[in-house]
A and B are shown apart, each in its own frame.
Chain A
Amino acid sequence: MGKKLFIVLVGLLFGGFTVLFNFFPRSTVSELEKRDLAKFPTYSGEKLADGSFAKEISLWFSDSEPYRDFFISMSMGLKDLIRVNFSKESSLTFHAPDMTDNDYSPTGDFGEDEADELMSEQTPVDEETTENRKLEEYQNKITAQENAKIANAGIIIVGSGENTRAIMAYAGDSTGGVKFAEVANKYKRILGDSVNVYCMVIPTSTEFYCPDAAKKRTKSQRATINNIFANLSDSVTAVDVYTTLAHHAEEDIYLRTDHHWSPLGAFYAARRFAKVAKVPFADTTSYIRKVVKRYVGSMYGYSKDISIKKAPEDFVFYVPDSTVTYTTTYVNYTVDENYKVTNESAPYKGKYFFDYKDGSGAAYCTFMGGDMKITKVETSTDNHRRVLVLKDSFGNAIPGYLFFSFEEVHVVDYRYFTRNIVDYIKENKITDVLFANNIFSAYMPGTARRYLKFLRN
Chain B
Amino acid sequence: MVFSDLFFLFAFLPAFILAYLAAGYADRKLFSPLDDHKFKARNLVTVIFSLIFYAWGEPVYVFLMLFCVFVNYLAGLGIEGSGKHRKLALVLGITLNLLILCTFKYLGFFAEILNGFGLSVAAPKIALPIGISFYTFQSLSYLVDVYRGQSPAQRRFWDLLFYISMFPQLIAGPIVRYQTISANIKNRTVTTEDFAEGAYRFLLGLGKKVILANQLSEISDRFLADGNFSTAGSWIGLLAFTFQIYFDFSGYSDMAIGMGRCLGFRFNENFDHPYTCNSITDFWRRWHISLGTFFRDYLYIPLGGNRRHQALNILIVWFLTGMWHGASWNFILWGLYFGVIVTIEKYTILKYKIPSFILHIYSLILVVLGWGIFYFDDFGKLGSLFSALFGNAQSASDFTSWAALTNNFWLWIAAITFSLPVRKLFKNARGKWIYRTVISLLILFCSVALLIGATNNPFLYFRF
Interface residues of A (CB under 8 A from B): 2-7, 9-10, 13-15, 17-18, 21-22, 48-51, 54-55, 57-58, 61-63, 65, 68, 71-72, 74-76, 78-79, 81-86, 91-94, 96, 147-150, 213-214, 216-217, 304
Contact B444 A13 (CB under 8 A): yes
Contacts A6-B199, A72-B452 given; 10 further ones with Cβ under 8 A? A2-B431, A2-B436, A4-B196, A10-B437, A15-B14, A48-B59, A62-B7, A84-B409, A149-B403, A217-B400
Partner of A3, one of B7, B193, B403: B193
Total interface residues on B, using CB and 8 Å?
56
Is residue B121 within 8 Å, beta carbon to beta carbon, of the partner chain? no
Contact B403 A148 (CB under 8 A): yes
Residues of B within 8 A of A84 (CB): 406-407, 409-410
Contact A22 B10 (CB under 8 A): yes
- B422-439 interface mask toward A, CB cutoff 8 Å, 1 = contact, 0 = none? 000000000111101100
Q: How far is the CA of A84 from the CA of B431 in the complex (A)?
A: 32
Contact B56 A82 (CB under 8 A): no
Residues of A within 8 A of B403 (CB): 91-94, 147-150
Residues of B within 8 A of A57 (CB): 7
Q: How far is the CA of A78 from the CA of B444 in the complex (A)?
A: 13
Partner of B436, one of A6, A79, A91: A6
Q: How far is the CA of A57 from the CA of B433 in the complex (A)?
A: 36
Per the 8 Å Cβ criterion, residues 411-464 of B in contact with A are 411, 414, 431-434, 436-437, 440-441, 444-446, 448-453, 455
Residues of A within 8 A of B9 (CB): 17
Partner of B60, one of A49, A76, A150: A49
Is residue B381 within 8 Å, beta carbon to beta carbon, of the partner chain? no
Interface residues of B (CB under 8 A from A): 1, 5-7, 9-11, 14, 55-60, 192-193, 195-196, 199-200, 203, 215, 218, 221-222, 395, 398-400, 403-404, 406-411, 414, 431-434, 436-437, 440-441, 444-446, 448-453, 455
Contact A79 B195 (CB under 8 A): no
Q: How far is the CA of A92 from the CA of B450 in the complex (A)?
A: 23
Q: How far is the CA of A23 from the CA of B410 in the complex (A)?
A: 36
Contact B56 A54 (CB under 8 A): yes
A4-B192, A78-B446 in contact; A72/B453 too (CB < 8 A)? yes
The SS class assigned to the A binding surface is helix
Partner of A2, one of B399, B409, B432: B432
Q: How far is the CA of A13 from the CA of B11 in the complex (A)?
A: 14
Contact B59 A54 (CB under 8 A): yes
Q: How far is the CA of A51 from the CA of B55 in the complex (A)?
A: 8
Partner of A10, one of B11, B203, B432: B203
Separation in Å of the A220 CB from the closest CB of chain B?
Answer: 17
Separation in Å of the B140 CB from the closest CB of chain A?
Answer: 27
Residues of A within 8 A of B437 (CB): 2, 5-6, 9-10
Q: How far is the CA of A17 from the CA of B203 in the complex (A)?
A: 14
Chain B: CB-nearest residue to A21: B10
Q: How far is the CA of A6 from the CA of B201 in the complex (A)?
A: 13
Q: How far is the CA of A281 from the CA of B444 in the complex (A)?
A: 60
A-B contact pairs, 10 of them (CB 8 A): A2-B437, A48-B59, A49-B59, A82-B215, A82-B407, A83-B406, A84-B407, A93-B407, A148-B399, A150-B407
